[in-house]
């Protein structure tokens, strides 16, 4: 069994002139070395090789499709658009990798990746056909197909499907976490709305500048109903509600009452709006 030295420290007592202190003692021990995990080594090498082949495929497809599109547009725009053909199915593979523990979620990016790959292969083949080299176009298109098949094999090996009950548990946990995340934005929206309401109410709240006559009926109200008694500072909205609750319905009388108990500068339109709501 192979071993390797491991440097460690420990506290030990050390006495000088009769006084003992705990000091660090450095020492070395031999620890066993686990055997090399060849399966992991091979899988890492295969994944790295697949990544290199993806780079080669992108270069080849970009050159072919870019030359094809350059027939009808400027070269920089053509080659920039050509990158999208292979980048589409590569991004789909990345999403499929992220969903390797959930086959249901991985199904959509897998299908989309196959579709994007087919379009890229058709474009590469069309370039060869238009260039008078149909065989080279077919072989060039096959390069992307081979790399995609290789990555499908690698992804299937990395995938760790869950059993049905565990998958249901994971789905419920995701739903719960997603609900909590959604409530963050909803609570922020509700807080903002409540703040706007509070600011509006605060803007309409003005201290009264005079005490109304609480002793008898309003001679100009057209009604024998006495003016309501004041119970403290009022807003325009509260004053309108108090007047209507006391039987005052005439708009002019309500406006005079609001000017008396709430805001002497209250606009008739504002009072009329609150009166309609009341």
Written in H, E and C, the secondary structure of 237-260 is HHHHHHHHHCCCCCHHHHHHHHHH
Any domain includes 221: no
Mean pLDDT of 78-83: 90
Nearest-10 Cα torsion for 122, 124, 128, 130 = 70
What is the C-alpha to C-alpha distance for residues 124 and 128, in angstroms, rounded to an integer? 7
Q: Residue 223 falls within a domain, yes or no?
A: no
Side-chain-facing half-sphere of 139: CA atoms under 13 Å: 4
pLDDT tens sequence across 172-184: 888 888 888 888 8
Residue 223: per-residue pLDDT: 45
Asked if residue 107 has pLDDT above 50, the reply is: yes
User: Is residue 274, in this structure, part of any structural domain at all?
Assistant: no
> Which residues, in sequence order, are bridge partners of residue 217?
226
- How far the first Cα of the chain sits from its last, in Å, is 91
> Would you give the distance in Å from CA 76 to the centre of its chain?
34
- Tally the domains of the chain: 1
Specify if 96 maps to a domain: yes
pTM above 0.75, yes or no: no
Query: Would residue 229 count as lying in a domain?
Result: no
pLDDT given for residue 26 in this prediction:
92
Pairwise CA distance, residues 85 & 62, whole Å:
8
Domain of 64?
A: 38-158
Residue 125 lies in a domain: yes
* Per-residue pLDDT reduced to its tens digit, 110-146: 899 899 999 999 998 898 898 888 888 898 888 888 8
């Amino acid at each position: 069994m192979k071993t390797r030295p491991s440097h460690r420290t420990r506290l030990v007592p050390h006495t000088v002139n009769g006084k003992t202190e705990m000091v660090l003692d450095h020492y070395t021990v031999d620890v066993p070395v686990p055997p090399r995990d060849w399966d992991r080594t091979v899988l890492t090498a295969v994944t790295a090789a697949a990544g290199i082949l993806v780079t080669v495929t992108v270069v080849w497809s970009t050159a072919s499709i870019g030359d094809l599109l350059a027939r009808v547009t400027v070269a920089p725009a053509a080659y920039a658009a050509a990158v999208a053909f292979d980048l589409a199915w590569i991004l789909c593979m990345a999403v499929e990798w992220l969903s390797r523990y959930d086959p249901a979620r991985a199904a959509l990016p897998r299908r989309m990746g196959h579709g994007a790959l087919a379009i890229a292969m058709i474009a590469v083949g069309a370039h060869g056909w238009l260039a008078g080299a149909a065989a080279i176009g077919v072989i060039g298109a096959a390069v992307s197909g081979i790399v995609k098949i290789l990555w499908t094999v690698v992804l299937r090996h990395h995938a760790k499907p869950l059993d049905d009950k565990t998958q249901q548990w994971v789905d419920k946990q995701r739903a719960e976490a997603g609900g909590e995340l959604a409530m963050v934005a909803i609570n922020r929206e509700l807080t903002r709305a409540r703040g706007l309401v509070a600011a509006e109410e605060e803007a309409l709240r003005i201290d009264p500048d005079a005490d109304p006559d609480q002793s008898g009926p309003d001679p100009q109200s057209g009604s024998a109903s006495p003016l309501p008694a004041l119970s403290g500072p009022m807003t325009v909205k509260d004053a309108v509600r108090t007047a209507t609750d006391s039987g005052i319905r005439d708009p002019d009388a309500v406006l005079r009452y609001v000017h008396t108990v709430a805001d002497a500068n209250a606009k008739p339109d504002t009072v009329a709006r609150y009166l309609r709501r009341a």
